[in-house]
Structure 1
Amino acid sequence: MPHVPTEVDVYEVFAQTGAGSPLNHVGSIVAPRREAAWHLAKETYGRRDNLSRLWVVRRTDMIVSSAGDRELLAAKTRMPHRQPGFPTARRRDRHAADEREAAGEREAAGERGAAGERGADGLGAGGALSGLWMALADDLFVLGNRLGGRIVDYIDLEESLAVGSIGQEALAHAETVLALHGFDEAAVDAHFFERPRERWRVSRAVGLLGDWPSTVACGLVIAAAVTVLAGEQAADEPAIAAIRDEQRVHLDHWRRWARALAAWPETREEFGRAYAEVTRGAGDLFGAGPQGVEAGAGRAVELHGRLAALVSDRGGPGSCLPPLPVPRAAGMGGSVLADCLARGRLVREHYAPEVFL
């Protein structure tokens, strides 16, 4: 983990040799005082070159990585889905065995992995919050899929980039949830791409992902729900802490849009209707416990109350979230879920294996 060095009299020196060049670390010095350290650095590292800037920092004022942080710093371990060769590698893995014959085995393997207990409130199948996580993973997957189509809407270029990033992270968070339940990569793919539509339990709010006002409303309530649930386990699971922090950023993004759409006279009425409908449907976001909402009613009500506080943020439109959570139902999602699954399966089944090379 990152640490604070202990050498009190050691200073690190950063220098810039030209207006267009970067500020680089050039070395270290030992000095008894701060002012003396700067002058010593000037004489040591600037006697042959003209310096544009000179920064001298006491080593104990820095937070630096340790040798064991290499995996944490490697982009390929933190965000493998963002690496250029990732689609090709995954496609080759899938074609190593017959996809159709392996699908049932993958699903079973994922469910067997999910059966491992991780404590009373863990992410494993025995955990009290497991059903909520698995249901929210479905919501995140569909939201990420739909936001992918928004990248080319060009509300403006910056928003297109932001929506793309939010969509990508929603998909990554859905995968992380399944991985924490014991699913391997093949089982994750089978869970999202091979599972029959009638076995999905998306929120009623997800079925309303249509125009931009409803997309903003859906993005807000899903980000709020994931933030609330992740807050329950962030202290015990670093991956969940990362999901919580990123979903907080997503929540702030959708809140800014909600306030803007609620403030503009041209969109106020339309967005008010969309937000009311979406928040009314979002009453089932915490209605999917291990055996339905009744199994963990007290916990679900508590989480639902926190959700209500987030979606009723002042400055936005009025929320119609029900006072208590309602159970989720299988087979919801309508044309939104159907289109999401159809497009994903089309890509997997009909694109040539070398398309990403």
Structure 2
Amino acid sequence: MPHVPTDTDVYEVFAQTGSGSPLNHVGSLVAPRRDAAWHLAKETYGRRDDLFRLWVVRRTDLIVSSADDRGLLAAKTRMPHRQPGFPTTRRRDRSVAPDTAAPPQQQPAGAASGDPRGAAGPAVSRLWLALAEDLFVLGNRLGERIVDYIDLEESLAVGSIGQEALAHAETILTLHGFDASAADAHLFERPQEQWRVSRVIGLLGDWPSTVVCGLVIAAAVSVLAEERAADEPAFAAIRDEQLVHLDHWRRWARALAAWPETSEEFTRAYADVTHRAGDLFGAGPQDTLTDALHARLAALVGDSGVPGSRLPHRPVPRAAGTGGRVLADCLARGRLVREHYAPEVFL
């Protein structure tokens, strides 16, 4: 994970040699004080060239990556949907797509020989596929908020979270044996009554409810990804990114709870969403595993600094055909866009 260095006497030097050139990192130095570090940097790195700008930063004021963060920083493998490739490398013919949306026969995650969690593999797989549906709808719903130009920075942040939610849903399906055609059919060709989204999806409407929905879904995905993060880099990347999302939603939750204009509405939304969030780990039979996951979810939700959570003590079963108008609109828009593309173009 990113960390803060402990070298209190080491400074990093950034220099710009002209008004049109970028500010570049040029080296490091050791100095007893900040003012001495700046003058030493000027003499060391500006002796041969005229400098336009000089920045000197104590290393302990930086947050730096470590070797363990390489998977999180590898955008080409972490976020393939963001890489250029449309339509050449992502072109396919949907006319050969399977007639049904059933996933291919695959070995459940965790069922490999010698894996002590093998017996729990099918139950965990059902949880993952259910959370993938939640992420898919959440990502689509957040995409609608990118056009809020009143607060452009927040709109971009929410759009990025929405993109990553969609990418994580796709990654989850891939890790569970879905190829491109099967994943496409799973997300776009199944009728709504076959979906098993959490009941929180139906509340993805106003902004306070959206904040709480984002919070509880990010917490649930983080908890489940932790189970496989040690032996699967993709799950580790999902966990790390969802924890970033969780921090974002927590900041919003604390702000909405503190503002007099929104505190009452948000408290009501927080209670409603957390009450429905009891089914986030309810996609399989209740056992010690799902109870433990639910307990960790409750701890993360309770650590958000917002009182009034109504999360049940134990997970409750998911029901097929839920999601209401939110899921119906999401599926209708996706299918409408697909129909307007040529059959051989990947959506």
TM range (shorter): 0.7 to 0.9
The 1:300–1:65 alpha-carbon spacing in structure 2 relative to 1, beyond 3 Å, is closer
Letter of the structure 1 residue corresponding to residue 111 of structure 2: E
Alignment deviations for residues 252-282 of structure 1 (CA, whole Å, 9 cap, x no partner): 1111111111111221111111111111110
Retained in 1: the 8 A contact 2:110–2:121?
yes
The 1:226–1:21 alpha-carbon spacing in structure 2 relative to 1, beyond 3 Å, is same
Residue equivalent to 1:50? 50
Residue equivalent to 1:81? 81
The 1:129–1:115 alpha-carbon spacing in structure 2 relative to 1, beyond 3 Å, is closer
> How far did 1:80 drift?
1.9
> How far did 1:329 drift?
1.1
2:308 corresponds, among 304, 312, 318, to 318
- Secondary structure (helix, strand or coil) at the match of 1:92 reads coil
Residue equivalent to 1:334? 324
Retained in 2: the 8 A contact 1:224–1:310?
yes
- Secondary structure (helix, strand or coil) at the match of 2:261 reads coil
1:121 corresponds, among 117, 120, 124, to 117
Retained in 2: the 8 A contact 1:91–1:353?
no
1:160 corresponds, among 155, 159, 175, to 155
> How far did 1:350 drift?
1.9
- Secondary structure (helix, strand or coil) at the match of 1:218 reads helix
Structure 1: distance between partners of 2:300 and 2:43: 56
Retained in 1: the 8 A contact 2:271–2:308?
yes
- Worse-superposed segment, 239-248 or 113-122: 113-122
Query: Do structure 1's residue 278 and structure 2's residue 273 form an aligned pair?
Result: yes
Retained in 1: the 8 A contact 2:257–2:267?
yes
Q: Please show how residues 193-212 of structure 1 align to structure 2 within 5 Å.
A: 193-212=188-207
1:102 corresponds, among 89, 97, 100, to 97
Letter of the structure 1 residue corresponding to residue 167 of structure 2: A
The 1:354–1:311 alpha-carbon spacing in structure 2 relative to 1, beyond 3 Å, is same
1:131 corresponds, among 110, 126, 151, to 126
Residue equivalent to 2:18? 18
Work out which structure has the larger RCO, using CA pairs closer than 8 Å and 6 or more positions apart in sequence: 2
The runs of 5 or more residues in structure 1 that have no matched partner are 1-12, 28-32, 35-40, 56-62
1:241 corresponds, among 236, 245, 249, to 236
The runs of 5 or more residues in structure 2 that have no matched partner are 1-12, 32-40, 57-63
The 1:157–1:300 alpha-carbon spacing in structure 2 relative to 1, beyond 3 Å, is same
- Secondary structure (helix, strand or coil) at the match of 1:245 reads helix
Residue equivalent to 2:208? 213
The 1:149–1:223 alpha-carbon spacing in structure 2 relative to 1, beyond 3 Å, is same
Residue equivalent to 1:60? none
- Secondary structure (helix, strand or coil) at the match of 1:233 reads coil
Aligned residue pairs, count: 318
Alignment deviations for residues 276-309 of structure 1 (CA, whole Å, 9 cap, x no partner): 11111100111112xx33xxx1111111111111
Bigger Rg, structure 1 or 2: 1
> How far did 1:208 drift?
1.3
> How far did 1:226 drift?
0.8
- Secondary structure (helix, strand or coil) at the match of 1:103 reads coil
> How far did 1:316 drift?
1.4
The 1:169–1:72 alpha-carbon spacing in structure 2 relative to 1, beyond 3 Å, is closer
The alignment's TM-score, normalised by the length of structure 1, stands at: 0.76
> How far did 1:18 drift?
3.2
Letter of the structure 2 residue corresponding to residue 121 of structure 1: R
Structure 1: distance between partners of 2:42 and 2:266: 60
Retained in 2: the 8 A contact 1:142–1:340?
yes
> How far did 1:117 drift?
3.3
Identical amino acids, percent of aligned pairs? 73
Letter of the structure 2 residue corresponding to residue 339 of structure 1: D
> How far did 1:176 drift?
1.0
- Secondary structure (helix, strand or coil) at the match of 2:87 reads helix
Structure 1: distance between partners of 2:100 and 2:264: 50
Retained in 2: the 8 A contact 1:282–1:321?
yes
